[in-house]
Structure 1
Amino acid sequence: MNNPVKPKARKILEVIPQTTNEYTFRLENNIPIKHGQFMQLSLPKIGEVPISVSDFGDGYVDFTIRRVGKVTDKLFHLQKGDQIFIRGCYGNGWPIEKIKEKNIVIIAGGTGVSPVKSLINALYNDPNYAKEVYLIIGYKDCKSILFKEDLKKWKLARHFHTIYTLDNAEYKDWNKGMITEFIKEIPFHSFDKNYECFVVGPPIMMKFVGEELLNNNVSEENIWMSFERKMSCAIGKCGHCRIDEIYVCLDGPVFNYTIAKKLVD
Protein backbone atom coordinates (compact mmCIF):
# COMPACT_ATOMS: atom_id res chain seq x y z
CA MET A 1 0.00 0.00 0.00
CA ASN A 2 1.29 3.45 -0.91
CA ASN A 3 2.02 5.68 2.08
CA PRO A 4 0.69 9.18 1.20
CA VAL A 5 2.92 10.92 3.74
CA LYS A 6 6.19 9.08 3.09
CA PRO A 7 8.83 11.58 1.89
CA LYS A 8 11.61 10.92 -0.59
CA ALA A 9 15.19 12.16 -0.39
CA ARG A 10 16.29 14.72 -2.97
CA LYS A 11 19.77 16.10 -3.49
CA ILE A 12 20.43 19.83 -3.26
CA LEU A 13 21.65 21.02 -6.66
CA GLU A 14 22.30 24.62 -5.64
CA VAL A 15 21.84 27.02 -2.73
CA ILE A 16 21.15 30.61 -3.83
CA PRO A 17 21.24 33.33 -1.15
CA GLN A 18 18.50 35.91 -1.72
CA THR A 19 18.77 37.97 1.49
CA THR A 20 20.37 37.45 4.89
CA ASN A 21 17.43 35.31 6.05
CA GLU A 22 16.07 33.93 2.76
CA TYR A 23 17.73 31.35 0.53
CA THR A 24 16.55 29.49 -2.55
CA PHE A 25 17.21 25.75 -2.43
CA ARG A 26 17.22 24.02 -5.82
CA LEU A 27 16.53 20.28 -5.49
CA GLU A 28 16.53 17.48 -8.02
CA ASN A 29 12.95 16.58 -8.90
CA ASN A 30 10.81 14.44 -11.22
CA ILE A 31 7.43 15.06 -9.54
CA PRO A 32 4.85 16.89 -11.71
CA ILE A 33 4.14 20.42 -10.45
CA LYS A 34 1.50 23.07 -11.14
CA HIS A 35 2.11 26.78 -10.61
CA GLY A 36 1.06 27.77 -7.10
CA GLN A 37 1.31 24.36 -5.45
CA PHE A 38 3.37 23.50 -2.37
CA MET A 39 5.42 20.60 -1.05
CA GLN A 40 6.31 19.29 2.38
CA LEU A 41 10.04 19.55 3.17
CA SER A 42 11.54 17.60 6.06
CA LEU A 43 14.72 16.64 7.82
CA PRO A 44 14.87 13.38 9.82
CA LYS A 45 14.56 13.88 13.59
CA ILE A 46 14.05 17.63 13.08
CA GLY A 47 10.61 18.16 11.55
CA GLU A 48 8.60 19.05 8.46
CA VAL A 49 7.35 22.30 6.93
CA PRO A 50 5.06 23.21 3.99
CA ILE A 51 6.87 25.40 1.44
CA SER A 52 5.49 26.87 -1.77
CA VAL A 53 7.27 26.04 -5.01
CA SER A 54 8.99 29.19 -6.24
CA ASP A 55 10.07 27.76 -9.59
CA PHE A 56 10.60 24.49 -11.41
CA GLY A 57 11.96 23.10 -14.64
CA ASP A 58 13.41 20.00 -16.23
CA GLY A 59 14.78 17.92 -13.35
CA TYR A 60 14.62 20.53 -10.61
CA VAL A 61 12.36 22.41 -8.22
CA ASP A 62 13.09 25.63 -6.29
CA PHE A 63 11.99 26.55 -2.77
CA THR A 64 12.67 30.03 -1.47
CA ILE A 65 12.75 29.71 2.29
CA ARG A 66 12.84 32.20 5.15
CA ARG A 67 14.81 31.25 8.25
CA VAL A 68 12.13 31.44 10.94
CA GLY A 69 12.09 28.23 12.98
CA LYS A 70 13.64 24.90 13.98
CA VAL A 71 13.39 23.17 10.62
CA THR A 72 14.33 26.15 8.46
CA ASP A 73 17.26 26.94 10.75
CA LYS A 74 18.69 23.46 10.10
CA LEU A 75 18.00 23.79 6.36
CA PHE A 76 20.19 26.85 6.24
CA HIS A 77 23.15 24.74 7.39
CA LEU A 78 22.86 22.47 4.35
CA GLN A 79 24.99 22.76 1.25
CA LYS A 80 25.06 21.61 -2.36
CA GLY A 81 25.07 17.81 -2.43
CA ASP A 82 23.23 17.37 0.86
CA GLN A 83 19.73 15.87 0.94
CA ILE A 84 16.30 17.20 1.85
CA PHE A 85 13.23 14.98 2.05
CA ILE A 86 10.14 16.09 0.13
CA ARG A 87 6.60 14.90 -0.50
CA GLY A 88 3.86 16.35 -2.68
CA CYS A 89 2.98 18.31 -4.74
CA TYR A 90 -0.15 19.41 -2.91
CA GLY A 91 -3.05 21.78 -3.28
CA ASN A 92 -4.77 23.66 -6.07
CA GLY A 93 -2.56 26.10 -7.93
CA TRP A 94 -3.27 29.23 -9.95
CA PRO A 95 -6.12 28.82 -12.49
CA ILE A 96 -3.93 28.69 -15.60
CA GLU A 97 -6.86 27.61 -17.76
CA LYS A 98 -8.63 30.93 -17.03
CA ILE A 99 -5.85 33.31 -18.07
CA LYS A 100 -5.22 32.40 -21.70
CA GLU A 101 -5.53 35.48 -23.95
CA LYS A 102 -6.49 37.66 -20.97
CA ASN A 103 -4.86 40.62 -19.27
CA ILE A 104 -3.18 39.40 -16.09
CA VAL A 105 -2.67 41.50 -12.96
CA ILE A 106 -0.29 40.02 -10.37
CA ILE A 107 0.11 41.74 -7.00
CA ALA A 108 2.62 40.22 -4.59
CA GLY A 109 4.38 41.33 -1.43
CA GLY A 110 7.48 40.08 0.40
CA THR A 111 7.94 36.32 0.40
CA GLY A 112 4.53 36.20 -1.29
CA VAL A 113 6.40 36.69 -4.57
CA SER A 114 7.62 33.08 -4.25
CA PRO A 115 4.30 31.25 -4.86
CA VAL A 116 3.67 33.27 -8.01
CA LYS A 117 7.23 33.44 -9.39
CA SER A 118 6.99 30.30 -11.54
CA LEU A 119 3.79 31.59 -13.13
CA ILE A 120 5.37 34.97 -13.87
CA ASN A 121 8.31 33.22 -15.51
CA ALA A 122 5.95 31.06 -17.57
CA LEU A 123 4.18 34.20 -18.82
CA TYR A 124 7.56 35.78 -19.51
CA ASN A 125 8.74 32.78 -21.52
CA ASP A 126 5.51 32.53 -23.53
CA PRO A 127 4.50 36.10 -24.48
CA ASN A 128 1.60 34.84 -26.60
CA TYR A 129 -0.22 32.95 -23.85
CA ALA A 130 -1.78 35.99 -22.18
CA LYS A 131 -2.29 39.53 -23.43
CA GLU A 132 -0.56 42.06 -21.18
CA VAL A 133 0.91 41.28 -17.75
CA TYR A 134 0.77 43.91 -15.00
CA LEU A 135 3.01 43.36 -11.97
CA ILE A 136 2.89 45.21 -8.69
CA ILE A 137 5.59 43.83 -6.41
CA GLY A 138 6.46 45.25 -3.01
CA TYR A 139 8.98 44.67 -0.25
CA LYS A 140 9.60 46.25 3.12
CA ASP A 141 13.01 47.71 2.21
CA CYS A 142 15.97 47.14 -0.11
CA LYS A 143 17.46 44.49 2.19
CA SER A 144 14.37 42.28 1.78
CA ILE A 145 14.23 42.24 -2.05
CA LEU A 146 14.01 38.73 -3.50
CA PHE A 147 14.72 37.52 -7.06
CA LYS A 148 16.65 40.61 -8.17
CA GLU A 149 17.70 39.16 -11.52
CA ASP A 150 14.15 38.05 -12.32
CA LEU A 151 12.82 41.50 -11.42
CA LYS A 152 15.25 43.03 -13.93
CA LYS A 153 14.26 40.74 -16.80
CA TRP A 154 10.52 41.13 -16.11
CA LYS A 155 10.91 44.89 -16.25
CA LEU A 156 12.45 44.66 -19.72
CA ALA A 157 9.76 42.40 -21.22
CA ARG A 158 7.61 44.15 -23.83
CA HIS A 159 4.37 42.59 -22.66
CA PHE A 160 5.09 43.28 -18.96
CA HIS A 161 4.16 46.46 -17.09
CA THR A 162 5.99 46.55 -13.78
CA ILE A 163 5.63 48.60 -10.62
CA TYR A 164 8.19 47.80 -7.91
CA THR A 165 7.83 49.51 -4.56
CA LEU A 166 9.31 49.59 -1.06
CA ASP A 167 6.99 50.25 1.87
CA ASN A 168 8.80 53.19 3.43
CA ALA A 169 12.28 53.44 1.99
CA GLU A 170 13.99 55.27 -0.87
CA TYR A 171 15.86 53.11 -3.39
CA LYS A 172 17.13 53.79 -6.89
CA ASP A 173 14.59 52.97 -9.64
CA TRP A 174 11.99 51.85 -7.06
CA ASN A 175 8.79 53.51 -5.95
CA LYS A 176 8.13 54.33 -2.31
CA GLY A 177 4.78 53.41 -0.78
CA MET A 178 2.46 50.55 0.05
CA ILE A 179 1.31 48.23 -2.72
CA THR A 180 -2.29 49.42 -2.43
CA GLU A 181 -1.28 52.95 -3.49
CA PHE A 182 -0.44 51.75 -7.01
CA ILE A 183 -3.49 49.64 -7.84
CA LYS A 184 -5.20 52.71 -9.28
CA GLU A 185 -2.48 52.79 -11.98
CA ILE A 186 -3.71 49.53 -13.51
CA PRO A 187 -5.99 50.38 -16.49
CA PHE A 188 -8.84 48.02 -15.62
CA HIS A 189 -11.25 50.18 -17.65
CA SER A 190 -9.40 49.24 -20.84
CA PHE A 191 -9.56 45.48 -20.28
CA ASP A 192 -13.20 45.11 -21.34
CA LYS A 193 -13.68 42.64 -18.45
CA ASN A 194 -11.08 40.34 -20.03
CA TYR A 195 -8.70 39.96 -17.08
CA GLU A 196 -7.78 38.00 -13.93
CA CYS A 197 -6.05 39.25 -10.77
CA PHE A 198 -3.69 37.13 -8.66
CA VAL A 199 -2.80 38.29 -5.15
CA VAL A 200 -0.36 36.77 -2.65
CA GLY A 201 1.41 38.08 0.43
CA PRO A 202 0.87 38.55 4.16
CA PRO A 203 -2.81 38.18 5.17
CA ILE A 204 -3.18 41.86 6.12
CA MET A 205 -1.74 42.89 2.75
CA MET A 206 -4.14 40.64 0.85
CA LYS A 207 -7.07 41.99 2.85
CA PHE A 208 -6.37 45.60 1.86
CA VAL A 209 -5.39 44.70 -1.72
CA GLY A 210 -8.72 42.90 -2.11
CA GLU A 211 -10.63 45.91 -0.82
CA GLU A 212 -8.70 48.28 -3.09
CA LEU A 213 -9.35 46.10 -6.13
CA LEU A 214 -13.07 46.23 -5.36
CA ASN A 215 -12.77 50.02 -5.03
CA ASN A 216 -11.43 50.01 -8.58
CA ASN A 217 -14.52 48.11 -9.79
CA VAL A 218 -12.77 44.76 -10.10
CA SER A 219 -15.22 41.87 -9.90
CA GLU A 220 -14.81 39.44 -6.99
CA GLU A 221 -14.91 36.54 -9.45
CA ASN A 222 -11.77 37.87 -11.16
CA ILE A 223 -9.63 37.94 -8.00
CA TRP A 224 -7.57 34.96 -6.82
CA MET A 225 -5.57 34.72 -3.59
CA SER A 226 -3.05 32.24 -2.20
CA PHE A 227 -3.26 31.33 1.50
CA GLU A 228 -0.58 29.53 3.51
CA ARG A 229 -2.41 29.28 6.79
CA LYS A 230 -1.24 26.73 9.39
CA MET A 231 -0.83 23.89 6.92
CA SER A 232 0.70 20.81 8.49
CA CYS A 233 -0.15 17.35 7.11
CA ALA A 234 -1.08 18.59 3.59
CA ILE A 235 -3.69 15.85 3.12
CA GLY A 236 -6.60 17.15 5.21
CA LYS A 237 -6.17 14.81 8.18
CA CYS A 238 -4.73 16.93 11.00
CA GLY A 239 -7.24 19.79 10.76
CA HIS A 240 -4.71 22.52 11.61
CA CYS A 241 -5.54 24.56 8.51
CA ARG A 242 -9.30 24.11 8.70
CA ILE A 243 -11.48 27.22 8.63
CA ASP A 244 -15.14 26.21 9.04
CA GLU A 245 -15.62 23.57 6.32
CA ILE A 246 -12.58 24.65 4.28
CA TYR A 247 -9.22 22.85 4.41
CA VAL A 248 -6.56 25.21 3.08
CA CYS A 249 -4.21 22.36 2.12
CA LEU A 250 -6.87 20.53 0.09
CA ASP A 251 -9.21 23.26 -1.16
CA GLY A 252 -6.40 25.81 -1.61
CA PRO A 253 -3.92 27.25 -1.23
CA VAL A 254 -5.34 29.28 -4.14
CA PHE A 255 -8.92 30.49 -3.68
CA ASN A 256 -11.24 32.71 -5.62
CA TYR A 257 -12.02 35.90 -3.70
CA THR A 258 -15.66 34.89 -3.34
CA ILE A 259 -14.37 32.23 -0.93
CA ALA A 260 -11.14 33.89 0.22
CA LYS A 261 -12.94 36.89 1.72
CA LYS A 262 -14.60 34.54 4.23
CA LEU A 263 -11.39 32.79 5.33
CA VAL A 264 -10.98 34.60 8.64
CA ASP A 265 -9.97 32.92 11.91
Structure 2
Amino acid sequence: MINNPYLPFKAEIISVVKQTAIDWTYRLACDIKPQWGQFMEVSLPGVGECPLSISDFGPGYIEMTIRRVGKVTSVIHLLDETDHLFLRGPYGHGFPVPEFTNKHLVIAAGGTGLAPVKSIINHFYRQPDLVTRLDVLAGFKSPQDVLFKEEMAQWSKQFNLLVTVDQLPHAASPSPYREGLLTKWIPEIPMDNPEDLRVVIVGPPVMMKYAALEFLKRGVAEEHIWVSFERKMCCGIGKCGHCKIDATYVCLEGPVFNYSQAKSLLD
Protein backbone atom coordinates (compact mmCIF):
# COMPACT_ATOMS: atom_id res chain seq x y z
CA MET A 1 0.00 0.00 0.00
CA ILE A 2 1.37 3.44 -0.97
CA ASN A 3 1.34 6.02 1.82
CA ASN A 4 -0.60 9.15 0.89
CA PRO A 5 1.40 12.21 2.06
CA TYR A 6 -1.76 14.31 2.07
CA LEU A 7 -3.70 11.93 4.33
CA PRO A 8 -4.11 13.31 7.87
CA PHE A 9 -4.77 11.47 11.12
CA LYS A 10 -7.45 12.24 13.68
CA ALA A 11 -6.46 13.84 17.01
CA GLU A 12 -8.76 14.55 19.96
CA ILE A 13 -8.73 17.95 21.64
CA ILE A 14 -7.71 17.42 25.28
CA SER A 15 -7.97 21.02 26.44
CA VAL A 16 -8.44 24.59 25.23
CA VAL A 17 -6.84 27.61 26.93
CA LYS A 18 -7.88 31.10 25.82
CA GLN A 19 -4.72 33.23 25.77
CA THR A 20 -6.32 36.36 24.25
CA ALA A 21 -9.61 37.14 22.53
CA ILE A 22 -8.34 35.53 19.30
CA ASP A 23 -5.39 33.31 20.38
CA TRP A 24 -6.29 29.95 21.90
CA THR A 25 -4.00 27.07 22.82
CA TYR A 26 -5.21 23.60 21.88
CA ARG A 27 -3.70 20.47 23.43
CA LEU A 28 -4.18 17.46 21.16
CA ALA A 29 -3.74 13.78 21.91
CA CYS A 30 -1.11 12.21 19.65
CA ASP A 31 2.18 10.33 19.87
CA ILE A 32 4.35 12.31 17.46
CA LYS A 33 7.72 13.59 18.67
CA PRO A 34 8.46 16.82 16.79
CA GLN A 35 11.62 18.88 16.67
CA TRP A 36 11.57 22.31 18.27
CA GLY A 37 10.25 24.73 15.63
CA GLN A 38 8.49 22.27 13.33
CA PHE A 39 4.91 22.76 12.15
CA MET A 40 1.79 20.71 11.45
CA GLU A 41 -0.86 20.82 8.77
CA VAL A 42 -4.25 21.10 10.47
CA SER A 43 -7.52 20.42 8.68
CA LEU A 44 -11.26 20.01 9.09
CA PRO A 45 -13.26 18.04 6.51
CA GLY A 46 -15.35 20.32 4.35
CA VAL A 47 -13.60 23.42 5.70
CA GLY A 48 -9.96 23.37 4.66
CA GLU A 49 -6.39 23.06 5.85
CA CYS A 50 -3.78 25.42 7.26
CA PRO A 51 -0.19 25.16 8.55
CA LEU A 52 0.33 25.85 12.26
CA SER A 53 3.43 25.85 14.41
CA ILE A 54 3.79 23.53 17.39
CA SER A 55 3.94 25.59 20.58
CA ASP A 56 4.74 22.73 22.95
CA PHE A 57 4.79 18.96 23.15
CA GLY A 58 5.26 16.07 25.55
CA PRO A 59 4.44 12.39 26.00
CA GLY A 60 1.09 11.75 24.30
CA TYR A 61 0.31 15.31 23.24
CA ILE A 62 1.23 18.38 21.22
CA GLU A 63 0.02 21.95 21.65
CA MET A 64 -0.71 24.60 19.05
CA THR A 65 -1.61 28.20 19.78
CA ILE A 66 -4.09 29.13 17.07
CA ARG A 67 -5.05 32.68 16.11
CA ARG A 68 -8.53 33.21 14.65
CA VAL A 69 -7.66 34.95 11.38
CA GLY A 70 -9.34 33.03 8.56
CA LYS A 71 -11.81 30.41 7.40
CA VAL A 72 -10.20 27.33 8.96
CA THR A 73 -9.09 28.90 12.24
CA SER A 74 -12.51 30.53 12.73
CA VAL A 75 -14.15 27.09 12.64
CA ILE A 76 -11.44 25.60 14.89
CA HIS A 77 -12.36 28.22 17.49
CA LEU A 78 -15.88 26.76 17.59
CA LEU A 79 -14.51 23.43 18.82
CA ASP A 80 -13.95 22.33 22.41
CA GLU A 81 -12.68 19.40 24.44
CA THR A 82 -13.44 15.92 22.99
CA ASP A 83 -13.84 17.39 19.50
CA HIS A 84 -11.23 16.43 16.91
CA LEU A 85 -8.82 18.04 14.48
CA PHE A 86 -7.06 16.30 11.61
CA LEU A 87 -3.28 16.53 11.47
CA ARG A 88 -0.42 15.65 9.19
CA GLY A 89 3.24 16.20 9.89
CA PRO A 90 5.39 17.32 11.59
CA TYR A 91 7.21 19.08 8.79
CA GLY A 92 10.35 21.10 8.28
CA HIS A 93 13.65 21.52 10.08
CA GLY A 94 13.63 22.88 13.61
CA PHE A 95 16.03 24.76 15.86
CA PRO A 96 19.33 23.03 16.77
CA VAL A 97 18.55 23.04 20.49
CA PRO A 98 21.41 20.66 21.47
CA GLU A 99 23.84 23.27 20.12
CA PHE A 100 22.63 25.71 22.79
CA THR A 101 23.94 23.55 25.65
CA ASN A 102 26.43 25.40 27.86
CA LYS A 103 25.81 28.62 25.95
CA HIS A 104 24.20 31.97 26.71
CA LEU A 105 20.88 31.72 24.85
CA VAL A 106 18.75 34.70 23.87
CA ILE A 107 15.26 34.19 22.43
CA ALA A 108 13.57 37.20 20.80
CA ALA A 109 9.96 36.68 19.75
CA GLY A 110 7.44 39.11 18.31
CA GLY A 111 3.72 38.54 18.79
CA THR A 112 2.60 35.02 17.88
CA GLY A 113 6.25 34.29 17.13
CA LEU A 114 6.44 33.36 20.80
CA ALA A 115 4.41 30.21 20.09
CA PRO A 116 7.02 28.34 17.98
CA VAL A 117 9.72 28.96 20.63
CA LYS A 118 7.61 28.25 23.71
CA SER A 119 8.71 24.60 23.71
CA ILE A 120 12.37 25.70 23.71
CA ILE A 121 11.76 28.03 26.63
CA ASN A 122 10.00 25.28 28.57
CA HIS A 123 12.81 22.84 27.75
CA PHE A 124 15.37 25.08 29.43
CA TYR A 125 12.93 26.13 32.15
CA ARG A 126 12.74 22.48 33.20
CA GLN A 127 16.51 22.00 32.79
CA PRO A 128 18.10 25.38 33.55
CA ASP A 129 21.57 23.93 34.08
CA LEU A 130 21.81 23.13 30.36
CA VAL A 131 22.54 26.79 29.52
CA THR A 132 24.84 29.31 31.18
CA ARG A 133 22.20 32.03 30.88
CA LEU A 134 18.79 32.47 29.25
CA ASP A 135 17.22 35.78 28.23
CA VAL A 136 13.77 35.95 26.64
CA LEU A 137 12.44 39.08 24.94
CA ALA A 138 8.78 38.97 23.92
CA GLY A 139 7.18 41.88 22.11
CA PHE A 140 3.45 42.53 21.57
CA LYS A 141 1.25 45.30 20.19
CA SER A 142 -0.64 45.87 23.45
CA PRO A 143 -1.14 44.33 26.91
CA GLN A 144 -4.27 42.63 25.57
CA ASP A 145 -2.16 40.74 23.02
CA VAL A 146 0.29 39.20 25.49
CA LEU A 147 0.41 35.39 25.27
CA PHE A 148 1.17 32.73 27.89
CA LYS A 149 0.79 35.00 30.93
CA GLU A 150 0.65 32.11 33.41
CA GLU A 151 3.78 30.52 31.96
CA MET A 152 5.54 33.89 31.95
CA ALA A 153 4.95 34.24 35.67
CA GLN A 154 6.86 31.00 36.17
CA TRP A 155 9.55 31.76 33.59
CA SER A 156 10.38 35.07 35.26
CA LYS A 157 11.36 33.21 38.43
CA GLN A 158 13.94 31.16 36.56
CA PHE A 159 15.56 33.48 34.00
CA ASN A 160 15.55 37.03 32.63
CA LEU A 161 12.21 37.74 30.92
CA LEU A 162 11.53 41.10 29.30
CA VAL A 163 8.06 41.72 27.83
CA THR A 164 7.41 44.78 25.70
CA VAL A 165 4.30 46.38 24.20
CA ASP A 166 4.33 48.96 21.43
CA GLN A 167 2.49 51.49 23.56
CA LEU A 168 1.36 51.37 27.17
CA PRO A 169 -2.07 52.71 28.12
CA HIS A 170 -2.08 55.77 30.37
CA ALA A 171 -2.84 54.37 33.80
CA ALA A 172 -1.96 55.19 37.37
CA SER A 173 -0.78 51.68 38.27
CA PRO A 174 2.68 50.55 37.13
CA SER A 175 2.85 48.07 34.26
CA PRO A 176 4.87 44.85 34.23
CA TYR A 177 5.67 45.56 30.57
CA ARG A 178 8.25 47.81 28.91
CA GLU A 179 7.12 50.28 26.29
CA GLY A 180 8.50 50.30 22.76
CA LEU A 181 9.49 47.89 20.05
CA LEU A 182 11.34 44.75 21.06
CA THR A 183 14.46 45.85 19.18
CA LYS A 184 14.75 48.89 21.45
CA TRP A 185 15.51 46.65 24.42
CA ILE A 186 18.12 44.34 22.86
CA PRO A 187 20.95 46.64 24.08
CA GLU A 188 19.73 45.96 27.65
CA ILE A 189 20.80 42.31 27.48
CA PRO A 190 24.16 41.64 29.14
CA MET A 191 26.53 40.16 26.56
CA ASP A 192 29.92 39.78 28.22
CA ASN A 193 31.08 37.21 25.69
CA PRO A 194 29.41 37.48 22.24
CA GLU A 195 31.24 34.33 21.09
CA ASP A 196 29.32 32.38 23.72
CA LEU A 197 25.97 33.75 22.60
CA ARG A 198 23.32 31.86 20.61
CA VAL A 199 20.26 33.77 19.36
CA VAL A 200 16.80 32.62 18.21
CA ILE A 201 14.54 35.19 16.53
CA VAL A 202 10.93 34.57 15.46
CA GLY A 203 8.33 37.11 14.43
CA PRO A 204 7.23 39.34 11.55
CA PRO A 205 9.88 39.66 8.81
CA VAL A 206 10.66 43.32 9.59
CA MET A 207 11.08 42.53 13.29
CA MET A 208 13.42 39.60 12.56
CA LYS A 209 15.51 41.72 10.18
CA TYR A 210 16.13 44.57 12.61
CA ALA A 211 16.49 42.32 15.65
CA ALA A 212 19.21 40.37 13.82
CA LEU A 213 20.97 43.62 12.92
CA GLU A 214 20.97 44.67 16.58
CA PHE A 215 22.60 41.42 17.61
CA LEU A 216 25.15 41.71 14.81
CA LYS A 217 26.02 45.21 16.05
CA ARG A 218 26.82 43.70 19.43
CA GLY A 219 29.29 41.24 17.97
CA VAL A 220 27.16 38.10 17.62
CA ALA A 221 28.30 36.04 14.63
CA GLU A 222 25.83 35.39 11.80
CA GLU A 223 26.23 31.64 12.21
CA HIS A 224 25.09 31.94 15.84
CA ILE A 225 21.69 33.41 14.92
CA TRP A 226 18.62 31.42 13.79
CA VAL A 227 15.31 32.68 12.42
CA SER A 228 12.07 31.03 11.34
CA PHE A 229 10.07 31.66 8.18
CA GLU A 230 7.17 29.55 9.45
CA ARG A 231 4.56 32.02 8.21
CA LYS A 232 5.49 31.04 4.62
CA MET A 233 4.14 27.51 4.90
CA CYS A 234 1.39 26.08 2.72
CA CYS A 235 1.32 22.39 1.64
CA GLY A 236 4.27 21.38 3.83
CA ILE A 237 5.84 18.92 1.40
CA GLY A 238 7.30 21.06 -1.37
CA LYS A 239 4.57 20.45 -3.96
CA CYS A 240 2.59 23.68 -4.21
CA GLY A 241 5.51 26.11 -4.52
CA HIS A 242 3.83 28.75 -2.33
CA CYS A 243 6.77 28.93 0.08
CA LYS A 244 9.50 28.91 -2.56
CA ILE A 245 12.03 31.74 -2.37
CA ASP A 246 14.33 31.64 -5.41
CA ALA A 247 15.43 27.97 -5.44
CA THR A 248 14.68 27.35 -1.76
CA TYR A 249 11.58 25.50 -0.61
CA VAL A 250 11.05 26.88 2.90
CA CYS A 251 8.88 23.96 4.00
CA LEU A 252 11.59 21.46 3.09
CA GLU A 253 14.80 23.31 3.96
CA GLY A 254 13.29 25.45 6.76
CA PRO A 255 11.24 26.92 8.23
CA VAL A 256 14.22 27.43 10.56
CA PHE A 257 17.31 28.87 8.91
CA ASN A 258 20.66 29.98 10.17
CA TYR A 259 20.99 33.71 9.57
CA SER A 260 24.03 33.17 7.35
CA GLN A 261 21.60 31.60 4.86
CA ALA A 262 18.44 33.48 5.77
CA LYS A 263 19.93 36.91 5.02
CA SER A 264 19.90 36.06 1.29
CA LEU A 265 16.27 34.82 1.30
CA LEU A 266 14.24 37.88 0.35
CA ASP A 267 10.89 37.29 2.05
What is the TM-score when the length of structure 1 is the normalising length? 0.96
Question: Residue type of the partner of 1:174?
Answer: Y
Q: What's 1:13 paired with?
A: 14
Identical pairs, percent: 47
CA distance in 2, matches of 1:126, 1:230: 32
CA distance in 1, matches of 2:73, 2:117: 21
Question: Residue type of the partner of 2:58?
Answer: G
- Structure 1 gaps of 5+ residues are none
Residues 45 and 124 (structure 1), Cα distance of their counterparts in 2 relative to 1, 3 Å cut: same
Superposition deviation, residue 106 in structure 1: 0.4
Superposition deviation, residue 99 in structure 1: 0.6
Superposition deviation, residue 21 in structure 1: 0.7
CA distance in 1, matches of 2:16, 2:65: 10
> Do the aligned residues in 2 keep the contact of 1:241 with 1:247 (CA within 8 Å)?
yes
Question: Residue type of the partner of 2:60?
Answer: G
SS of residue matched to 1:128: helix
SS of residue matched to 1:204: helix
Q: Are residue 232 (structure 1) and residue 242 (structure 2) matched?
A: no
Q: What's 2:119 paired with?
A: 118
Question: Residue type of the partner of 2:220?
Answer: V
Q: Are residue 186 (structure 1) and residue 185 (structure 2) matched?
A: no
Q: Are residue 135 (structure 1) and residue 136 (structure 2) matched?
A: yes
Superposition deviation, residue 135 in structure 1: 0.9
Larger displacement relative to structure 2 (64-73 or 207-216): 207-216
5 Å-filtered alignment, 1:78-117, equals: 78-117=79-118
Q: What's 1:2 paired with?
A: 3
SS of residue matched to 1:4: coil
Q: Are residue 201 (structure 1) and residue 200 (structure 2) matched?
A: no
> Do the aligned residues in 2 keep the contact of 1:229 with 1:248 (CA within 8 Å)?
no
> Do the aligned residues in 1 keep the contact of 2:12 with 2:29 (CA within 8 Å)?
yes
Superposition deviation, residue 5 in structure 1: 1.7
Superposition deviation, residue 192 in structure 1: 5.3
SS of residue matched to 1:50: strand
Residues 57 and 247 (structure 1), Cα distance of their counterparts in 2 relative to 1, 3 Å cut: same
CA distance in 1, matches of 2:77, 2:89: 21
Q: Are residue 211 (structure 1) and residue 213 (structure 2) matched?
A: yes
User: Can you list the C-alpha shifts for 1:75-131, whole angstroms capped at 9, x where unaligned?
Assistant: 001111111000101111111121111110100010000000000000000011111
CA distance in 2, matches of 1:161, 1:229: 27
> Do the aligned residues in 1 keep the contact of 2:230 with 2:256 (CA within 8 Å)?
no
User: Can you list the C-alpha shifts for 1:34-91, whole angstroms capped at 9, x where unaligned?
Assistant: 1111000000011100000001111111100110000001000111111100010111
> Do the aligned residues in 1 keep the contact of 2:164 with 2:177 (CA within 8 Å)?
yes
Q: What's 1:153 paired with?
A: 154
Question: Residue type of the partner of 2:165?
Answer: L
CA distance in 1, matches of 2:39, 2:25: 14
Q: What's 1:176 paired with?
A: 179
Runs of 4+ in 1 over 2 A off after TM superposition: none
> Do the aligned residues in 1 keep the contact of 2:162 with 2:178 (CA within 8 Å)?
yes
> Do the aligned residues in 1 keep the contact of 2:37 with 2:53 (CA within 8 Å)?
yes
Q: What's 1:167 paired with?
A: 166
Length, aligned pairs only: 262
What is the TM-score when the length of structure 2 is the normalising length? 0.95
> Do the aligned residues in 1 keep the contact of 2:36 with 2:95 (CA within 8 Å)?
yes
Residues 97 and 150 (structure 1), Cα distance of their counterparts in 2 relative to 1, 3 Å cut: same
User: Can you list the C-alpha shifts for 1:201-259, whole angstroms capped at 9, x where unaligned?
Assistant: 11111111111111222211111001124311101111110001111111111100111
CA distance in 2, matches of 1:191, 1:92: 28
- Structure 2 gaps of 5+ residues are none
